[in-house]
Structure formats: C-alpha cells, structure tokens
Copies of this chain bind each other. A is one copy, B any other.
Amino acid sequence: MNLQDSCIIRHFNHFCRLSDDDKKLLLRLEESPGHVKAGSVLWQEEDPASEFCTLSRGWAYSYRNLGDGSRQILEIYLPGDIIGLREFAFSQRLAGVAMIDDGVICHFPHRRLLDIFNQSTTLTAILFAISSRQQALLTERLVNLARRTAHQKLAHFIYEMYLRLLQTGALSDGDFRLPLSQEQLADTLGLSAVHVSRTFSAFREQGLVLRERHHVTLPDPEALARVAEFDDCYLNDSVRPIFFDGTEAAMRMSNAHSGDEGPVPK
C-alpha cells in the first residue's frame, strides 16, 4: 500500500506534517481495511472492546439503546474520523456503532496503541488532540440537548454538519447530502420523528432549510447559525494544521490564542 493511501495517515496529516518514520509506524498498526454495507453494525454495546477503526469512506454513528425501546445517537462519524477511542480504558463497548452509508473502514487493535505511545511523541499528542476534539463535539451536543428548543436543536445540528463538511473540503456552498433519516435525526436530537418533520416544515416556510430526501440546501447559512445561537469555537481551534511538531508544540499551544480569526464570518 502506498503511504498516501492510508486513511489513518491522511487523517493525522490534518494536524501535522508527519515524518516518514511516523508514517511507517502508523501503517504498521493498520490491518484489514474492508468494505461495510449501509446499516451494518460494527459492534454493539457490551461487546468486548479490542480495536479501533478509522472511517475511510461513508458515514457512521454510535448509539445507546435504552430500556424503553428508544435509543440515543451519540455522535456522527465522517470520513477520516477515528471510531472507538471512547473505550480505551474499558474492556467492553459502551455504545454500539453502525454504518449509515456503504463505506470502508480500517481496523487496528487496541494494544498497539501502546506501541505508538512508546515510539512517537508526535503521534501520541495528535491522538490526544483527536480525543480532545471528539470530547468537545460531545460537550456541544450535550448543551444542545439540555438547553435548546426543537428548532434550535435541529438548526444547530445541521449547521454543525455544514461546518464539519466544509472543514473536510468536501463542500463549497450551502448544499450537501445529509444521509440521515428523520428518525435518525430524532434519535440524535432527543426528539420524536414527528416533531422533526414539523420542524423541517417550519424551516421550509421560513426559507431556512430545504430538505429533499437525503439532500439539504441552506439558502442563508448565517441565518441558520443565528437561529441556533451557534458558537463555532469548539470546531475551529482543534484542526489548525501543523499543530504539533515535537517540542515546539508546547510554545504554540500556550500562546496560539492571539490574533485568531475563524474561517466563518461573524
């Protein structure tokens, strides 16, 4: 496999230019990339946890099933994301993971993470940063669920997806594929599917969001951000390219907050 074909290496390169040694180390950790079908379950809650995955193509989500038959979707994974970091300290899965689309994933076993810790400080720091960013996404979703109205929840979610897709460069205008059903959106936002439908209807009448099957257009993304009271600092900072490079990262981290301007106009 060519070094540039690795989905892990591509993902890590978002944070920092890697040395060839680091690239080789990453590549050795990678096993059995494979195709998975839409709807297939990578693992379920309480399965033994022994590996991570990198999502190379397609969308996925993690979820928890509840006693009353409902479920909660915890996070949406896009191409390039690492899945399963959550369970590093656990022997069991805390959440299930399923594919939304057809896709491609790469597996690498839990225990080999220690090889990384042993051999590359740079990669260790990047892993920590990735975990840190995932936690930031989770925190923002928590606030969204706890404190906002149905309109704000949906607006916030759609705008977050819009920004994340912008960052991966897969997008230029307010027009993109959103392969989630309304029921999946409801499970993500702690709403009923019926109410998601109503909210979309309201957005359509206001010209905020137009949804057609699995496609979404945002005539005025900024208006949507205002409805959601969106604050994008939890998405901006962490993906700054070339964030770490050995010991100099320390200096950058402690004074990088001067003179910021985010990619999104206020």
Interface residues of A (CB under 8 A from B): 46, 48-50, 64, 66-67, 70, 72, 74, 85-92, 94-95, 109-114, 117-118, 121, 124-125, 127-136, 138-139, 141-143, 145-147, 189-190, 229, 233-234, 237-238, 243, 247, 249-251, 253-257, 260
List B contacts of A257 (CB < 8 A).
48-49, 91-92
Contacts of A127 in B (CB 8 A): 128
A contact patch SS:
helix
Question: Can you list 8 A-B pairs with a CB-CB distance of less than 8 A?
Answer: A88-B129, A89-B237, A90-B237, A92-B233, A111-B253, A127-B128, A134-B135, A141-B142
- Given the interface pairs A89-B238, A91-B253, the reply to whether A138 lies near B136 with Cβ below 8 Å is no
Q: Roughly how many angstroms separate A189 CA and B234 CA in the complex, as a whole number? A: 22
In the complex, the answer to whether B111 meets A145 with C-beta atoms within 8 Å is: no
Contact between chains at B253 and A129 (CB < 8 Å): no
Q: Which 10 pairs, one residue from A and one from B, show the smallest C-beta to C-beta distance?
A: A111-B250, A146-B190, A89-B129, A91-B257, A89-B132, A91-B256, A89-B238, A88-B132, A90-B237, A48-B257
